[in-house]
Structure 1
């Protein structure tokens, strides 16, 4: 198993944030299927203010490149991503077109 942590911002608007959270109370079944079929075994998203933090646990053979290819050919995933971008905004340090950004692990108690 591998673990990845990523961050993204939401637009700083209480109404939009509430709508975004409502969509995530029960995501579309096609989105859940696309996540698990790519080799993601668990995914959690946390929020503070307008900052999102995602934890992904994946199978050892998971590949972000393969997931991107699968998503690009899935019209329902593309519809979801377009809808979610209504609520999301790139982090200030993001490159053009970059959404979720990898976070660097700086501490691990088990490695002390």
Structure 2
């Protein structure tokens, strides 16, 4: 797995604060994420809905590493004042990944 999408939702009224918190994420958190195998993580927002795109070879392994890391635990605790939670998907990686439907570049590689 190289990329996966996640969906989370903000608590009402926290949209601007959430964006301010992500204007510059803690450098030590980025280091921990990279060490866990996450190459990149992007977030888009529509109203209270957040859509995440994660580039990682093994998301479940990365989540397991992060779950025991004190820096990530501190970040998750801090961000809990903004985030209602992640959408659950029992079929997805770590129970969170959205179901992949289509990727243009993958279709191009198959020869349309």
Alignment counterpart, residue 22 of structure 2, candidates 8, 21, 24: 24
Return 5+ residue gaps in structure 2 as ranges: 90-94
TM normalised by structure 2 equals: 0.77
How many pairs does the alignment contain? Answer: 103
Aligned to 1:7: 7
Aligned to 1:43: 41
Counterparts of 1:31-70 in structure 2 under 5 Å? 31-58=29-56, 62-70=57-65
Q: What is the RMSD computed on CA atoms of the aligned residues?
A: 2.3
Return 5+ residue gaps in structure 1 as ranges: none
Q: Any runs of at least 4 consecutive aligned residues in structure 1 with deviations exceeding 6 A, and if so which?
A: none
- Assess, with a 3 A threshold, how the Cα gap between structure 1 residues 38 and 94 changes in structure 2: closer, same or farther: same
Aligned to 1:84: 79
Asked if the contact 2:33–2:66 (Cα under 8 Å) also holds between the matched residues in 1, the reply is no
Residues 1:104 and 2:95 aligned together: no
